[in-house]
A = this chain, B = another copy of it.
Amino acid sequence: MKLIENWFSERYSDNLQLSFRVSDQLLSVKTDYQRIDVFQTYDFGKLLSIDGTVQLTEKDEFVYHEMITRMPYLYADSKPESALVIGGGDGGAAGELLKLGLKRIVNVEIDGQVVEVCRKHFPELASSFSKKNVELIIGDGIKYVETAKEKFHIIIIDSTDPVGPAEGLFDSKFYHNVAKILAPGGVVVTQSGSPFYQPKAIGMAQRGMKPAFEYVKSYTAFIPTYPSGFWSFTMAKNTPIKMRKDSVPAGQYFNMEIAESAFSLPEFVKKLIA
A residues sitting closer than 8 Å to B (CB atoms) are 9, 13-21, 41-44, 63, 196-197, 220, 222, 224, 228-230, 250-255, 257-258, 260-261, 264-268, 270
Name A224's closest neighbour in chain B (CB-CB): B228
User: When the two chains form the complex, which single residue of B42, B230, B268 contacts A14, counting CB atoms closer than 8 Å?
Assistant: B42
Distance of A85 from chain B, by nearest CB (Å)? 23
Copies per complex of this chain: 2
28 contacts between A and B (CB under 8 A): A9-B19, A13-B43, A14-B21, A15-B21, A15-B41, A16-B19, A16-B21, A16-B43, A17-B18, A18-B18, A196-B222, A196-B224, A197-B224, A220-B222, A222-B228, A222-B266, A224-B229, A230-B230, A254-B267, A255-B266, A255-B267, A257-B264, A257-B265, A258-B266, A258-B267, A260-B261, A260-B264, A261-B261
Residues in chain B near residue A270, CB distance under 8 A: 255
Residues in chain B near residue A224, CB distance under 8 A: 196-197, 228-230
Distance of A270 from chain B, by nearest CB (Å)? 7
